[in-house]
Protein backbone atom coordinates (compact mmCIF):
# COMPACT_ATOMS: atom_id res chain seq x y z
CA UNK A 1 0.00 0.00 0.00
CA UNK A 2 1.23 3.47 -0.88
CA UNK A 3 1.35 5.34 2.43
CA UNK A 4 1.39 8.61 0.50
CA UNK A 5 -1.75 7.86 -1.52
CA UNK A 6 -3.84 10.24 0.59
CA UNK A 7 -1.18 12.98 0.41
CA UNK A 8 -0.97 12.64 -3.37
CA UNK A 9 -4.74 12.59 -3.81
CA UNK A 10 -4.99 15.96 -2.03
CA UNK A 11 -2.44 17.80 -4.25
CA UNK A 12 -1.62 18.34 -7.92
CA UNK A 13 2.13 18.32 -8.50
CA UNK A 14 1.82 20.73 -11.42
CA UNK A 15 0.24 23.36 -9.13
CA UNK A 16 2.26 23.15 -5.92
CA UNK A 17 6.01 23.11 -5.32
CA UNK A 18 5.60 20.73 -2.37
CA UNK A 19 7.73 17.54 -2.57
CA UNK A 20 6.28 14.17 -3.54
CA UNK A 21 8.96 11.70 -2.43
CA UNK A 22 12.37 11.40 -0.86
CA UNK A 23 14.58 9.17 1.16
CA UNK A 24 15.64 9.40 4.77
CA UNK A 25 18.53 11.86 5.14
CA UNK A 26 20.07 9.88 7.99
CA UNK A 27 20.80 6.15 7.96
CA UNK A 28 21.32 5.94 11.72
CA UNK A 29 18.69 8.23 13.19
CA UNK A 30 15.05 9.06 12.69
CA UNK A 31 14.34 12.69 11.78
CA UNK A 32 11.64 15.17 12.66
CA UNK A 33 10.55 18.59 11.44
CA UNK A 34 8.16 21.28 12.64
CA UNK A 35 6.79 23.63 9.99
CA UNK A 36 5.05 26.88 10.80
CA UNK A 37 2.21 27.13 8.30
CA UNK A 38 0.11 30.23 7.79
CA UNK A 39 -2.85 28.68 5.99
CA UNK A 40 -6.53 29.55 6.59
CA UNK A 41 -5.63 29.19 10.24
CA UNK A 42 -2.07 29.45 11.56
CA UNK A 43 -0.70 26.16 12.86
CA UNK A 44 2.49 24.21 13.33
CA UNK A 45 2.90 20.90 11.49
CA UNK A 46 4.77 18.42 13.66
CA UNK A 47 6.20 15.51 11.64
CA UNK A 48 8.05 12.41 12.81
CA UNK A 49 9.84 10.01 10.45
CA UNK A 50 8.24 6.61 11.01
CA UNK A 51 8.78 3.70 8.63
CA UNK A 52 9.70 5.77 5.58
CA UNK A 53 7.22 8.65 5.80
CA UNK A 54 6.66 11.73 7.94
CA UNK A 55 3.69 10.95 10.19
CA UNK A 56 2.10 14.35 10.80
CA UNK A 57 0.05 16.35 13.30
CA UNK A 58 -1.24 19.94 13.04
CA UNK A 59 -0.75 21.81 16.33
CA UNK A 60 -2.76 25.07 16.44
CA UNK A 61 -0.77 26.66 19.28
CA UNK A 62 2.56 25.03 18.42
CA UNK A 63 4.80 22.73 20.43
CA UNK A 64 6.08 23.93 23.79
CA UNK A 65 8.91 23.23 26.22
CA UNK A 66 6.58 23.98 29.12
CA UNK A 67 5.83 20.70 30.89
CA UNK A 68 2.78 22.25 32.54
CA UNK A 69 0.67 22.53 29.40
CA UNK A 70 -0.65 20.06 26.84
CA UNK A 71 -1.02 21.00 23.19
CA UNK A 72 -3.81 19.70 21.00
CA UNK A 73 -2.35 17.94 17.94
CA UNK A 74 -4.64 16.79 15.12
CA UNK A 75 -3.19 13.91 13.10
CA UNK A 76 -3.15 14.66 9.37
CA UNK A 77 -2.06 12.71 6.30
CA UNK A 78 1.45 11.18 6.15
CA UNK A 79 3.92 13.38 4.25
CA UNK A 80 6.92 12.40 2.07
CA UNK A 81 10.38 12.54 3.68
CA UNK A 82 11.53 15.41 1.44
CA UNK A 83 8.89 17.58 3.07
CA UNK A 84 11.40 18.18 5.89
CA UNK A 85 13.16 20.68 3.60
CA UNK A 86 10.07 22.45 2.33
CA UNK A 87 9.71 26.18 2.81
CA UNK A 88 7.84 28.63 0.64
CA UNK A 89 4.40 29.34 -0.59
CA UNK A 90 1.64 26.87 -1.32
CA UNK A 91 -0.48 28.67 -3.96
CA UNK A 92 -3.75 30.16 -2.77
CA UNK A 93 -6.64 27.97 -3.83
CA UNK A 94 -4.54 24.80 -3.47
CA UNK A 95 -4.79 22.53 -0.43
CA UNK A 96 -3.05 24.28 2.51
CA UNK A 97 -2.51 27.48 0.53
CA UNK A 98 -0.21 29.88 2.41
CA UNK A 99 3.35 30.36 3.68
CA UNK A 100 5.52 27.66 5.26
CA UNK A 101 8.84 27.91 7.12
CA UNK A 102 10.90 25.19 8.78
CA UNK A 103 10.39 26.16 12.42
CA UNK A 104 12.52 23.34 13.83
CA UNK A 105 14.31 20.27 12.53
CA UNK A 106 16.55 17.54 13.84
CA UNK A 107 16.76 13.90 14.79
CA UNK A 108 14.90 11.89 17.41
CA UNK A 109 15.16 8.66 19.38
CA UNK A 110 12.14 6.50 20.16
CA UNK A 111 11.52 5.60 23.78
CA UNK A 112 9.90 2.56 25.28
CA UNK A 113 8.59 2.76 28.79
CA UNK A 114 10.20 -0.16 30.54
CA UNK A 115 8.62 0.76 33.85
CA UNK A 116 7.02 3.80 35.39
CA UNK A 117 10.38 5.29 36.24
CA UNK A 118 12.78 4.00 33.63
CA UNK A 119 12.41 5.02 30.02
CA UNK A 120 14.36 2.83 27.69
CA UNK A 121 15.72 4.58 24.61
CA UNK A 122 15.87 2.77 21.28
CA UNK A 123 19.20 3.54 19.61
CA UNK A 124 18.75 1.39 16.51
CA UNK A 125 16.79 3.08 13.74
CA UNK A 126 14.79 0.06 12.56
CA UNK A 127 13.93 -0.86 16.17
CA UNK A 128 12.87 2.77 16.59
CA UNK A 129 10.55 2.48 13.58
CA UNK A 130 9.01 -0.66 15.10
CA UNK A 131 8.47 0.92 18.52
CA UNK A 132 6.90 4.00 16.89
CA UNK A 133 4.60 1.87 14.69
CA UNK A 134 3.42 0.00 17.81
CA UNK A 135 2.94 3.36 19.55
CA UNK A 136 0.82 4.66 16.66
CA UNK A 137 -1.46 1.64 17.03
CA UNK A 138 -1.69 2.08 20.80
CA UNK A 139 -2.15 5.84 20.55
CA UNK A 140 0.90 6.58 22.69
CA UNK A 141 4.31 7.71 21.42
CA UNK A 142 7.35 8.65 23.47
CA UNK A 143 10.51 10.14 22.02
CA UNK A 144 13.59 12.27 22.66
CA UNK A 145 13.92 15.22 20.28
CA UNK A 146 17.24 16.75 19.32
CA UNK A 147 16.33 19.85 17.35
CA UNK A 148 17.48 23.46 17.46
CA UNK A 149 14.50 24.58 19.53
CA UNK A 150 12.83 21.41 20.76
CA UNK A 151 14.94 19.14 22.93
CA UNK A 152 14.35 16.37 25.39
CA UNK A 153 11.58 13.91 26.13
CA UNK A 154 8.04 14.30 24.79
CA UNK A 155 4.91 12.19 24.45
CA UNK A 156 2.08 12.24 21.96
CA UNK A 157 -1.03 10.63 23.41
CA UNK A 158 -4.24 9.97 21.53
CA UNK A 159 -7.28 11.40 23.28
CA UNK A 160 -10.45 9.44 23.87
CA UNK A 161 -13.56 11.37 22.99
CA UNK A 162 -11.98 14.83 23.25
CA UNK A 163 -12.69 17.19 21.61
CA UNK A 164 -16.15 15.69 20.95
CA UNK A 165 -16.46 14.17 17.50
CA UNK A 166 -12.73 14.46 16.69
CA UNK A 167 -11.21 11.08 15.94
CA UNK A 168 -7.66 12.22 15.17
CA UNK A 169 -6.98 14.28 18.26
CA UNK A 170 -3.76 13.72 20.22
CA UNK A 171 -2.00 15.75 22.92
CA UNK A 172 1.66 16.73 22.75
CA UNK A 173 3.18 16.72 26.21
CA UNK A 174 6.66 17.79 27.35
CA UNK A 175 8.09 15.51 30.01
CA UNK A 176 10.01 17.10 32.87
CA UNK A 177 13.73 17.12 32.15
CA UNK A 178 16.62 19.61 31.89
CA UNK A 179 15.13 21.17 28.74
CA UNK A 180 11.83 22.43 30.14
CA UNK A 181 11.08 26.17 29.89
CA UNK A 182 8.09 27.46 31.79
CA UNK A 183 5.88 29.76 29.71
CA UNK A 184 7.59 28.81 26.43
CA UNK A 185 5.45 29.95 23.49
CA UNK A 186 6.19 28.87 19.90
CA UNK A 187 4.87 32.19 18.60
CA UNK A 188 7.86 34.02 20.15
CA UNK A 189 10.16 32.33 17.62
CA UNK A 190 9.38 33.66 14.15
CA UNK A 191 12.44 32.68 12.11
CA UNK A 192 13.25 29.61 10.04
CA UNK A 193 16.00 27.40 11.45
CA UNK A 194 17.35 26.68 7.94
CA UNK A 195 17.06 30.02 6.08
CA UNK A 196 16.68 33.71 6.82
CA UNK A 197 12.94 33.52 6.23
CA UNK A 198 10.70 35.12 8.84
CA UNK A 199 7.06 34.18 9.34
CA UNK A 200 5.35 36.15 12.10
What residue ranges bind Mn ion (CB under 5 A)? Answer: 37, 45
Q: Which of 103, 101, 95, 102 is nearest to 40 (CA)?
A: 95
Distance CA 12, CA 34 (A): 23
State the nearest-atom distance from the C-beta of 24 to Mn ion, in Å.
21
Specify the residue, 45 or 49, whose C-beta has the smaller distance to Mn ion: 45
State the nearest-atom distance from the C-beta of 77 to Mn ion, in Å.
10
State the nearest-atom distance from the C-beta of 118 to Mn ion, in Å.
36
Shortest-Cβ-distance residue relative to Mn ion: 37
State the nearest-atom distance from the C-beta of 102 to Mn ion, in Å.
13
Measured between alpha carbons, how far apart are the two ends of the chain, in Å?
A: 38
Specify the residue, 68 or 91, whose C-beta has the smaller distance to Mn ion: 91
State the nearest-atom distance from the C-beta of 179 to Mn ion, in Å.
25
Specify the residue, 33 or 122, whose C-beta has the smaller distance to Mn ion: 33
3-class secondary structure per residue, the chain: CCCCHHHHHCCCCCCCCCCCCCCCCCCCCEEEEEEEEECCCEEEEEEEEECCEEEEEEECCCCCCCCCCEEEEEEEEEECHHHHHCCEEECCCCCCCEEEEEEEEEEEEEEEECCCCCEEEECCHHHHHHHHHHHHHHCEEEEEEEECCCEEEEEEEECCCCCCCCCCEEEEEECCCCCCCCCCCHHHCCECCCCCCECC
Specify the residue, 29 or 37, whose C-beta has the smaller distance to Mn ion: 37
Specify the residue, 122 or 170, whose C-beta has the smaller distance to Mn ion: 170
State the nearest-atom distance from the C-beta of 96 to Mn ion, in Å.
5
Specify the residue, 3 or 38, whose C-beta has the smaller distance to Mn ion: 38
Amino acid sequence: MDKLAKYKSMRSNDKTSEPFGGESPDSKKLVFVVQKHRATALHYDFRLEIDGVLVSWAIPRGPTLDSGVKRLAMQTEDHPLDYRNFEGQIPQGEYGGGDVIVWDRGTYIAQREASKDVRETIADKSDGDEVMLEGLKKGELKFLLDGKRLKGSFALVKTKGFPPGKKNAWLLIKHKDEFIKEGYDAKDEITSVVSKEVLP
